[in-house]
Amino acid sequence: MKFTSLKQTLRKQIDNVYLISGEDRFLQDKSISLIKQFAVENFVDMNESIYNDENINVQQMIEEAQTLPFMSKYRFILMRDCFNKLPEADKRMIIDYIKSPVKTTVFVFANDEKNDFLKKVEQYAVEIDCSFLDMNTLNAIVPAMIKEQGKQITTNALSKLIEYCACDLGRIENEIVKLSSYCADEIIKPEDIENNVAKTIDYETYLLANAICEKNTENALTIYKHIMQQKGSTQYVLGILGNFLRRYFYLHATKNDKSLCLQNFKINDSTYQMFLKRSANLKKVELMNSIEKVLEADYSIKAGLQTEDNALYNLIIYLTTKL
């Protein structure tokens, strides 16, 4: 189930076990809040238990899950970000419980990614996908968030805001609050986004990849310097660049098989269209050579053959002239 369907579904019924996963922590928080809101009508403090890495006690947690709620229809149990170091005995205890959960308890598992244990949990849970929302959904949601702050936003400014925040709704919300304070006009314009919203390093690296594909050496080097000024990691930038190039190569190798790319890249349609457009003028052999150059730059840094700055500078020169 997508996050956007959760509220409507909860109005009809509440299930006993939920698994929330996805990289958007804002959507995770909203999902947890919504489930708790629908499950616990009274005495929240007495009907809520939250477990994480700092206080995990599986035996106690199961006992609480089996306890009747106090003057409420449901008891609410949240287990979050504590799944990597669980003993096998604790995992078995949890799986045994959720196979036949107490009908008066709502048990929620929340984590950014699914590990092997959570893949077992998903067999018995209602899944809520909290991956970053696609551009079309954000284009519908974000203007309403801005309106709550007494502002409006132009179409171009909206696109910039979403791109600068890399589709992270939590970050978008924080930037909206900031923009509502800094912008004197009622309507937020593109220049307001450019002057007040910091680009994520992910987005800047995306711009770097675009500059490289456009063979614009000067622009690519300017963007790289700005990334480093934001304390970006050279290794991280190398990883992102390599990822872009591999995806472009994969598009050629699969003859632009859209369904296969969407499945393997785990991206939405609009991002696929962006990759398709950027890869149109790139050649398969050049892409293979470029991927090798990224690996060589990574090795030369780790082996002490080049400094990080020199290695990435030389790589950018190569990519913008040879790709």
Residue range 109-151, pLDDT digits in tens: 999 989 999 999 999 999 999 988 888 899 999 999 999 999 9
- Give me the mean pLDDT over the 61-84 stretch: 94
CATH architecture of 201-322: Up-down Bundle (1.20)
The larger pLDDT score, comparing residue 63 to residue 320, is at 63
pLDDT of residue 271: 65
What is the per-residue pLDDT for 211?
85
Q: What is the mean pLDDT of the chain?
A: 88
Residue 205 has pLDDT above 80, yes or no: no
Domain 135-196: CATH architecture, name and number where available? Orthogonal Bundle (1.10)
pLDDT at 235 over 90: no
CB 197 within 8 A of CB 177: no
Give pLDDT, residue 232: 65
pLDDT at 37 over 80: yes
Question: Over 80: is that where the pLDDT of 183 sits?
Answer: yes
The rounded distance, in Å, linking the Cα atoms of 192 and 195 is: 5
Highest-confidence range of 66-70, 180-184, 285-289, by mean pLDDT?
Answer: 66-70
Question: How far, in Å, are 153, 164, 227, 312 from residue 218 at the CA level?
Answer: 32, 21, 14, 14
Whether 247 has a pLDDT exceeding 90, the answer reads no
Confidence band for 212, pLDDT divided at 50, 70 and 90: confident
Domain spans in the chain, listed from the N-terminal domain onward: 3-129, 135-196, 201-322
Give the Cα-Cα-Cα angle 295, 296, 297 (nearest 5 degrees): 90
Show Cβ contacts of residue 229 under 8 Å, excluding neighbours closer than 6 positions.
none
Q: Is the pTM of this model over 0.85?
A: no
Amino acid at the residue 54:
E
Checking if the pLDDT of 36 tops 80, the result is yes
pLDDT at 67: 95
**Class of domain 3-129 (CATH, top level):** alpha beta
Residue carrying the six token digits 């489930």: 35
Q: How many CB atoms lie within 10 A of CB 131?
A: 17
Give residue 256's pLDDT.
66
Q: Running DSSP on this structure, what letter comes out for residue 3?
A: G
Cα dihedral value 140, 22, 34, 93, nearest 10: 160
pLDDT of residue 199: 78
Specify the DSSP element, H or E, that contains 35.
helix 25-39
- Phi and psi at 292, nearest 5°, equal -60, -40
Which residue is it, tokens 């419980």? 97
Residue 220, classed as helix, strand or coil, is helix
Q: Does 257 score more than 80 pLDDT?
A: no
Task: Determine the pLDDT at residue 251.
Answer: 81
The percentage of residues in the chain with a pLDDT greater than 70, rounded to a whole number, is 95
Give tens-digit pLDDT for 299-312: 999 899 989 888 98
